[in-house]
Copies of this chain bind each other. A is one copy, B any other.
């Protein structure tokens, strides 16, 4: 019988990440200083990021070596399997071939450690022993805690207060790996104290947690800040996913016609897509679909312009698709897909016509997740279910047209720490919600015009 999973040995793991910046037909718009609106210099970022990461952020090199120490930790779960979803194909009665890259087997359960490990490593090499970050549902925070455990670094996570109390499992994972987790807003930072003075019951937000984590990093010389998505160096580290997939397709003599990934900040989508976008730029006929919730439609309905990365306007301005930094995420269950912006590299690729966007409602995504779990076994993360929905819709179109397309999507993580969301789906407590257009107009009205 044909093999269900296409496996690579550790020796076949990629030894360099791929940098799409080297192949963009024109330069990516640079980040701007929030005060002067001038392009940032590397020195502007040195108080909070490792020098090597800043260099990667602006690098035009096509290949950047993966350090051996990073590959040794990657080897705990990488290379990850490429899986043929034969049971799902049968259930859909589609002539299409469906594959997924399975990023759910890392210890924290998602693709996030592909970047938390190198981020911890480069900081450690520079003599930094303490990292801060923010986390919402906890996927990024737990991945950074995991990485810090391996490099014997302190890890401080500001976790959105409402998630801290409602999502105890990922908080506990961070504790097991030795991280210090503080519900945000907290009294530990000036930003937190100001918020709490105004509203002692404030449930917190990602924007506030970012402010606290950045402030805590700036306050100490031995401490840096880390981000789990959006930035160029994060996209770079995630390309290990697509580079492995490229080798795996070669082994089985197949090749994808369409590649899908869910998008919040954009990192898992970029990781799988960018190595194949390089082929598209070389003439290959291949489509890329970024799958997002209708409740947070930055790619499909946002504006492409300079905006802040956080709610409180502390970060540099990034050229990206945005719903406005004042975006208030509605209470949907795809925890990781609630950011107002989209990675500048993914956004730029979309403006160049390389990437399409598709938006889905949460109920149809949970339905796709349930079918996936019953046919392929794994219970997917609610975030990943957007990519599954997109892939299923492609496969259904193939059933109708008779096309034997090859569909590839990224299973960015499992849903074992998100069963509460599944419960609400199964008990019919979920409602669909499309983010109102007028709110986008309103939230982007006061953005600086710098183009």
Q: In the complex, which of the residues B7, B71, B175, B422 contacts A172, with contact meaning CB atoms closer than 8 Å? A: B422
Q: Could you say which of A194-202, A320-328, A371-379 contacts chain B?
A: A371-379
4 closest residue pairs by CB, A with B: A107-B377, A172-B419, A4-B75, A169-B419
- What is the distance, in angstroms, from A282's C-beta to the closest C-beta of chain B? 32
Task: Kindly supply a per-residue 1/0 record for chain A positions 406-427, scoring 1 wherever the CB is within 8 Å of any chain B CB and 0 otherwise.
Answer: 0000000000110110110010
Q: Please give, as numbers and ranges, the residues of chain B lying within 8 Å of A76 by CB-CB distance.
A: 4-5, 376-378
B419 touches A173 (CB 8 A): yes
Q: With an 8 A cutoff between CB atoms, is A3 at the interface?
A: yes
Residues of chain A in range 104-140 having any CB-CB distance to chain B below 8 Å: 105-107, 109
Given A376-B76, A423-B168, the answer on whether A109 and B5 have CB atoms closer than 8 Å is no
Decide if A1 is an interface residue (CB 8 Å cutoff).
yes
A4 and B10 alpha carbons, distance in the complex (Å): 8
The docked-state distance in angstroms from the alpha carbon of A420 to that of B173 is: 10
For A3, A87, A177, A419, the residue with the greatest tally of chain B CB atoms inside 10 Å of its CB is A419
A window 35-54: CB within 8 A of B? none
- Find out whether the CB atom of B105 lies under 8 angstroms from the CB atom of A373: no
A156 on the interface (CB 8 Å rule)?
no
Nearest-CB residue, chain B, relative to A370:
B176
Given contacts A107-B373, A176-B370, A416 and B419 within 8 Å (CB-CB): no
How far is A420 from B417 in the complex, measured between Cα atoms in Å? Answer: 12
B72, A4: Cβ atoms under 8 Å? yes
Known: A150-B377, A169-B419, A176-B419. 5 other contacts (CB 8 A): A1-B72, A76-B378, A146-B377, A168-B420, A175-B422
Contacts of A178 in B (CB 8 A): 374
Determine if A401 is an interface residue (Cβ-Cβ < 8 Å): no
* Selected contact of A423 from candidates B71, B75, B172, B378, CB within 8 Å: B172
Is A68 on the interface with B (CB-CB < 8 A)? yes
Contact across chains for B1 and A5 when beta carbons are under 8 A apart: no
Of listed A73, A77, A426, residue having the most chain B CB within 10 A: A77
Contact with B along A2-26 (1 / 0, CB 8 A): 0111010111000000000000000
Chain B neighbourhood of A87, CB < 8 A: 150
Task: State whether A374 touches B149 (Cβ < 8 A).
Answer: yes
Q: Give a binary string over A50-83; 1 marks a CB under 8 Å from any B CB, 0 the rest.
A: 0000000000000000001001110111000000
CA distance A76 to B81 in the complex (A): 10
Q: How many copies does the complex hold?
A: 2
Residues 171-184 of chain A, each 1 if its beta carbon lies under 8 Å from chain B, else 0:
01101111000000
Cα A221 to Cα B40 in complex, Å, equals 74
Interface residues in A367-418 by Cβ distance below 8 A to B read 370, 373-374, 376-379, 416-417
The answer to whether A373 and B426 have CB atoms under 8 Å apart is: no
Asked whether, in the complex, the Cβ of B175 is within 8 Å of the Cβ of A426, the reply is yes
Complex CA–CA separation, A68 to B168 (angstroms): 41
Q: Which residues of the other chain, B, contact A106 by a CB distance below 8 angstroms?
A: 377
Given A176-B373, A426-B175, verify A68-B1 contact (CB < 8 Å). Answer: yes
Given contacts A149-B373, A416-B416, contact A379 B176 (CB under 8 A): yes
Contact of A426 among B105, B176, B378 (CB under 8 A): B176
Q: Considering the chains assembled together, what is the distance between the CA atoms of A19 and B43 in angstroms?
A: 67
Cβ-closest chain B residue relative to A75? B4
Closest chain B residue, CB of each to CB of A376: B76
Q: Which of B3, B9, B172, B379 contacts A107 (CB 8 A)?
A: B379
Cα-based distance from A10 to B7 in the complex (angstroms):
9
Contacts of A373 in B (CB 8 A): 107, 149, 176-177
C-alpha gap A54/B147 in the complex (Å) = 48
Cα A146 to Cα B1 with chains together (Å): 23
28 contacts between A and B (CB under 8 A): A1-B10, A1-B72, A3-B10, A4-B72, A4-B75, A5-B75, A73-B377, A76-B376, A77-B377, A105-B105, A107-B373, A107-B377, A107-B378, A107-B379, A109-B416, A149-B373, A149-B374, A168-B420, A168-B423, A172-B422, A172-B426, A175-B423, A175-B426, A176-B419, A176-B422, A177-B373, A177-B374, A416-B417
